[in-house]
Each structure stands twice: as structure tokens, then as C-alpha cells.
Structure 1
Amino acid sequence: MLAPVVALATGWAGTAHADPVAPASIPALTAAARPAVDGSHLVNVVPEAGRMVNMRVYSAAMNSVITVKVLRAPDHSKPAPVLYLLNGANGGVDESSWTEQTDIAEFFADKQVTVAIPLGGRGSYFTDWRTDDPVLGRQRWSTFLTRELPPIMNSTFHGTGKNALAGISMAGTSVFQLALDSPGLYQAIGAYSGCAQTSNLLGEAYVTAVVGRWAGNAANMWGPPGDPAWAANDPYLHADRLRGTAIYVSSGTGLPGPLDTLDGPGIHHDPTKLASQLTSGSILEAATNQCTHHMHDRLTQLHIPATFNFRPAGTHSWGYWQEDLHNSWPLFSRALQTNPPRLNPTPAQ
């Protein structure tokens, strides 16, 4: 049973016109920013294409500067809730990230929400580690994401105080853990192809393999296997505390699906990429699918409402996660009480 786990280490209608972020608006954002209580603060904001900006935040907990890509809400004059999107095990530091692999700019063009995508946290499970790791360094992601970043985001981008959180793969575990770590911070969470159960034999092997892929030592995170910290951080065991949070969970079976083709998203007719998606991507998704069914049974047992989307096919890959984001947005929107932005329609040609 453990052999496959080791392989895991591997509605507003109409067209809106949203102006790109003007460099002149950056000083206003910087002036609005307020530090967190521990001294974490905004370092700077740099405009990118369209409504995207690069935000650099000093984390006092990690004593380092973290980059957060932010897609501003379309109507800058109105408050907006924040949707945090977490990347997978590589932390989104290369092309495997929400900004590079999905259509978030187009999808959120007419939705009054600010989207924040932190970069970094490779192999960290976005949690607070017990000790610094010789390779991965200081990991205090739970503190950063739940206590340091939100007040800075809300002051800089006119937040409403309502938040949602979604993540893929490794972060599909983290979204549950972060919601448990900071009750009431997130009105909704979404876990796409994740594994919430972490303290049984299979879960410990899964986590150890994912951390080890980046040469990290999971014992520096929660201690050696069997340490009480593993159970303390297991969302499956503490699922009763998720009551009141809107929950969306999804996974495929690992069998080849409609997006696992040469012309599928991100493949670009590359047979090597497709072969990888159909091998390691299939193994990963089959394993997370098992975890997802366990979490479904647990929440059903506890009579906690949740939306589960079990796809009959599909691998561990971005095309399906983009669909998951689209499919979970109505649940997020209701929880965040978003309203359509008031924007000028695109002029007729």
C-alpha cells in the first residue's frame, strides 16, 4: 500500500471593461497599507499586466519577504472580499502556478473579489514547522497566511473582512488545516485533489514523501511519525470544528479523462508531458481520490454539509483544477456575499 504513496513525491451578465492597474495608483495602495500586529508589513507593490500586481510582504514570523501576486477586484472604488489561492508542493515558484496555468484573469474579470496568490512554501504544507529545516529553512506559513497577510491585504485593497481559501494537491490538505487554525477567518474553503487525512499510516507516508521530494525532513514539521503533533494537525480527526464553513472538495479517479490528451491544457502537443500526466498524474490522483472519499464519509458521519465533486476520470493536473475553481465559485460567492462590480461596458465597436 505504501509503494504508490512514495510515488506521490513526484452572475453578472455582460462584458465588463476593467482598466489595467495604472502606475499612478500604486502610491495610493502603499499609503493605505497597514502593518500586522507583529510588525509584518508591505514592502512594495509593482504593477504587472492588466489588474495583476506583485506585492512583496515582510513576514516577521519567517524573517523574510514573501511575494504575493494579487489580481485586483474590477471595481477598485468598492470593498471586495479576498480569495486566497494556494499553489501545490512546489510553491508556485515556476510555471506550475495559478497565474501561469489557469484563466483566473479572465474568469474573475466580472467578479468583485480580490484574488491573492502567495508564492513560496515549497514542501511546507503551509503550516508552522516545529524547527527550522536545514534545506527548507524557516517555515511559519500558518502564521503568515492567517495572522500577518490578511490585515495587510484588507487595508491595502479595501477588503470587506470576508475571505475564502482554495488550494491544489499539497495545499488541498493545508486549506483544512488553516481553517482549523484560525476559526472564522475563512467563510469558505476549496480542496482540489488533496489529502486531508495525515496521521494514519498512509497519511504519514504521503506527507513524508511530499516533503522529502524537496529534500525536507517532515520530522522538523510535526516531529517523528507518531508524535502527537501529527494528530493535532489532522483535519480528518478534527473535522467537527469545520462546522459553519462552506466546503467544496473535488478529485478524479486517475483514469485518463477528457483533458488528458495531446491538445489538453498545458500539454501543447508534447508527448513527454502527456506521458507524465498519464503516469505520475494518474498515481497521484488515485491516491488523493481515496483520501477524498474518506473525508466525505467523515463529514457525512458528522452531518456537516459539504459539496463533493467526484470526477469519474481525470489526472492530477491543472486543467481539472481550473474547472474545479470555476465549479466551486458559486459556493464561494454565496459565502463571501459578493456583488457584481459596477463597471463601464466595453464600448461598441
Structure 2
Amino acid sequence: MRLRRLPWGRGPRRAGWAGLALALLLPFLAVPAAEQPAYAADGRASGPARSQTRNPARVVAEVPVGDRMLDLGISSPTTDAPVKWVRLLLPKGWSKNASRTWPVLWLLHGGGGNHKDWTANTHVEQLAAGRDVLVVMPETSGCSSYSNWYNGGTWGSPAWETYLLDELRPLLERDYRAGTARAVAGLSMGGLGALKFTAARPGMFRAAASYSGAVHPLYRSPDGGFSGPDAVKLGALTCLVDWKRLWGEPGYPFDTDDPADLRQQWLWKRNSPLEQAASLRGTPLYLSYGDGTTDGGPGWSWGDGDRPPAPSPARCTDPPVHGTQDPVERTVYGMNQELRGRLAQLGIPATVCASQGGHTWPYWERELVASFPMLMRALGA
């Protein structure tokens, strides 16, 4: 039996909210300003990284990990770190010199995670083995929120959206036979990333899946639980940085009683799948989340064979209220309930599985298996 490591760190589960912390990153080495891409007022790269006239990302290491796995060390000033890693699961027949390309599934890690999480905690290698698909699992930071950081209005590094979509993506397409048919999925913070990328870049991804995603950063708990901004602030304590570096301040009704004081709420909304839900129209969507009740476990496991049993549709019980055993998933439940309602209001279809469950890997692997056929259909794999 393999150790199931939680997404926000190694070893036993930490108390509190590191798994839902939407914000923050341990300080990295300073990068000269001349090496950073230019940014528009809303944080989108407007300089070389955005236009692709110059891609500052470069591969500094290739490390084979078995026959079908390759780790790449990437250096880019946009990450504000010396090296960030990306793990590739390679399809049959792949080589850097192949005459063809392969469709791509991006898998995004959660808070505190890295590029090894999916292979360490799930059977994704076996799941993808029979598919004609390249799986890309990038490392960001433990609290990146897959966002370009506001940094008091100066922007600059880290700029995770720019790095992944405008630097790493074209690098893989140029040198590692990644095709232009793409799908994206992620857990917790990665669920936020998967849906916010899909909304921000309509047409870039053919399908998107979120497992226990932190999909509503401006969520207000109606009954005394944590709200979205609370999680950002607690994440800042965990990561030892100023929480305002990520998206600035959310303004009313969170830190002020003045309805006119919205501060940088526009940026919180720009990075919110719920607020940008209209831009998800036309993309096949999969949402799964638990209610915070963990009695009985997921009721599913991979088993001993090479292929898993299909998760039963009966697992999706659609609990009418949240539980209290897992406070992280309790908040995730509220966030996803509101996103689900917004999608319905807009007439945007989505496959939704709301179930009893907590914020842990056994549930996420179950939902990866359940959503995998949808993701592969979208890719034609």
C-alpha cells in the first residue's frame, strides 16, 4: 500500500488551511527587472513572454524517470526561482524527433504540492498507459494560485499564468512534441487553476476538470466557516509572506464596512472561475467536490489490477448541506455550490459530482478516474 501524501506537504496532514490557501509563495531569489516580461494594468503579460517574440524559459535539465517518464528542469525569470520542474508522462512511440505530435493533458497540483504529486499519489501512469496522450504535470509554487502576482501594482515575478501558458506551453510544443489539442484538470488550488485558465484563454483547452477546486476566492461563508479571503490570509501565515502580494485586497464586505471601498476586488474577480463563468461556455466541464463528511471513506479504490473499476454513479449523492469533519472541504463545498448555480443560471452545462467526502487523495484519484473518459474524448485520445 502506497503512502498517500496530501497536496500541501509531505507527511501527516497539517492542521488548518494550507490546502485551500489560495495565495502565497516563499520568497525566491531576486531577478533583475530587465529580465522580466512587461505587464499591462490587469497583470497580463504584454511584453515578450506574451507575444512570444522572445521566450525566456529554457530547459536546463532532462532527467529520465523510468521508461515513460521524463522530468524537465526549467529556468525562467518569470517564476522568480532558479529552477522549476515539469514531469511528462510519455505516450508509446514518443521521441523528441518524432514526425508527429500528441494531444496533451495538463494536471495541476494543489497547494503545497509539486510536479511529483500526481504520480506519487495516484495511478495516473497506468491510467494513461493505454492512451495516445502526453501528460504534463508542472510545478509552480506551494501557494501560486496559478496567477500573475499583483505585488502592490508593480506586477513582475512570480507570474505563473504567463509562465505556464506563454512560456512552458510553447516550449513543449516546439521541442517535446506537444500538440495543440489540450485538456486541463487540477485539484484544490489546481482546480482553481484549471478553470481560471480555461476561462481566461477560451479555446486553449478542449475540456477542464476541477476536483475539490477553490473556485470562488470571494466566497463568504454563511454560517461561521472560513471565507475565501480568510484562506488567503491564513495561507500567508503558512508561507511567511504578505497575503496582499497575490491579488491585493478584496475590499467590501471583507475588510471594510464601506460598500464603495472595493480596493483590488477587480483582480480577485479576474482570477475567479465563478466571476468568469460566462467564458467557460462551450468547454466540456467536470466538477467534483465533497461535503466535508469523511465517515466511510471514498467507497472506491484502484484495486490490484492494471485497470481500475469504474466509480459508481451512486457516489454522487448531492448532499443538501455541508458536514463539519473536514473544514477545508466544507468551504470547497460552498464555493462549488455557488459556481454550480452560476453555471446553471448562465445555461452552461457541466458534469457535476457532489458527494460525501473530504479533501484528500483517495477522493481525487476516484474523480480523476471518473472524469478521464470525458477528458480523453475531448482530446480524441
TM-score (norm 2): 0.69
* Secondary structure of residue in 2 paired with 1:61: helix
Matched, 1:254 2:292: yes
Matched, 1:237 2:275: yes
Q: Deviations over 1:41-75 (max 9, x none)?
A: 22231111230111112224225321101111123
Inter-partner Cα distance in structure 2 for 1:298 and 1:49:
44
Alignment-derived partner of residue 85 in structure 2: 67
Q: Deviations over 1:1-23 (max 9, x none)?
A: xxxxx93335xxxxxxxxxxxxx
Task: Check whether the contact 1:89–1:210 (CA below 8 A) recurs between aligned residues.
Answer: no
C-alpha spacing 1:165/1:264, structure 2 compared with 1 (3 Å): closer
Alignment-derived partner of residue 215 in structure 1: 240
Inter-partner Cα distance in structure 2 for 1:325 and 1:45:
27
Inter-partner Cα distance in structure 2 for 1:40 and 1:289:
37
C-alpha spacing 1:91/1:9, structure 2 compared with 1 (3 Å): closer
- Of all paired residues, the percent bearing the same amino acid is 29
Alignment-derived partner of residue 158 in structure 2: 139
Matched, 1:298 2:317: no
* Secondary structure of residue in 1 paired with 2:326: helix
Aligned positions of 1:14-33 closer than 5 A? none
* Worse overlay, 62-71 or 49-58: 62-71
Alignment-derived partner of residue 326 in structure 1: 369
Q: Deviations over 1:280-307 (max 9, x none)?
A: 9722112211211111111010001111
Inter-partner Cα distance in structure 2 for 1:150 and 1:238:
22
- The amino acid across from 1:87 in the alignment is H
Task: Check whether the contact 2:148–2:159 (CA below 8 A) recurs between aligned residues.
Answer: yes
Structure 2: give runs of 5+ residues left out of the alignment. 1-14, 20-51, 221-226, 252-263, 303-322
Inter-partner Cα distance in structure 2 for 1:170 and 1:160:
25
Alignment-derived partner of residue 287 in structure 1: 331
User: What is the Cα deviation at residue 237 of structure 1?
Assistant: 1.4
Task: Check whether the contact 2:112–2:143 (CA below 8 A) recurs between aligned residues.
Answer: yes
RMSD value over aligned CA atoms? 2.7
TM-score (norm 1): 0.75
User: What is the Cα deviation at residue 230 of structure 1?
Assistant: 1.5
Alignment-derived partner of residue 205 in structure 1: 230
Inter-partner Cα distance in structure 1 for 2:347 and 2:197:
21
* Worse overlay, 185-194 or 71-80: 71-80
Structure 1: give runs of 5+ residues left out of the alignment. 1-5, 11-34, 266-278, 339-349
C-alpha spacing 1:210/1:171, structure 2 compared with 1 (3 Å): farther
Aligned positions of 1:61-210 closer than 5 A? 61-63=78-80, 64-76=82-94, 77=98, 78-92=100-114, 97-131=117-151, 138-201=157-220, 202-210=227-235
Inter-partner Cα distance in structure 2 for 1:280 and 1:46:
43
User: What is the Cα deviation at residue 195 of structure 1?
Assistant: 2.2
- The amino acid across from 1:289 in the alignment is Y
Task: Check whether the contact 1:188–1:332 (CA below 8 A) recurs between aligned residues.
Answer: yes
The structure with more helix, counted as a fraction of residues: 1
Inter-partner Cα distance in structure 2 for 1:188 and 1:36:
28
